[in-house]
Amino acid sequence: MDIVNAAFYDHFVNPRNVGVVEDPDGVGKRGDPDCGDFLVVTIKVEDEAIADIRFLCKGCSAAIATSSAMTELVKGERLDTAMRVTPAMIEEEVGGLPEEKRHCSLLGADALKEAVADYVSRKEEIERDRNASKGE
């Protein structure tokens, strides 16, 4: 285990927001489930803000800690704010990472962005269907 500091350790042994959001509005996946780190992020959106966020992670201690930290950074935030979360912000939230583990913060940022993009895509599809049913 690559324990870096107290913040990292806390997120690793007590990860926040683990699991899957029931009936998610958006889903993001990053990594390789067969070999290496793999992350699934699910979100529930209310009033264009992340009302709930959960993650499932198969990976090293850094992947788990950074995924937990990412959820803490964006829970309750507006979607536009969440989309601006960077790997550096996630890394800072866990108190830094060794160079060889910095890719783990990218995993979380990318899966989050994919979950938000999935939500936006679903929302646009619902609007298209609604307009088509009205004959517009």
**Pair of tokens at residue 135:** 């004959």
Per the DSSP assignment, residues forming a β-bridge with 115 are none
Task: Give the CB-side neighbour count of residue 27, counting CA atoms within 13 A.
Answer: 9
Cite the DSSP H helix spans in the chain: 6-13, 61-74, 79-82, 87-93, 103-133
Q: Alpha-carbon distance 48 to 52, whole Å?
A: 12
User: Which residues are the active-site residues?
Assistant: 35, 104
Is-contact 93 6, C-beta < 8 A? no
The number of residues making up the chain comes to 136
Where do we find the tokens 């788990």? Answer: 64
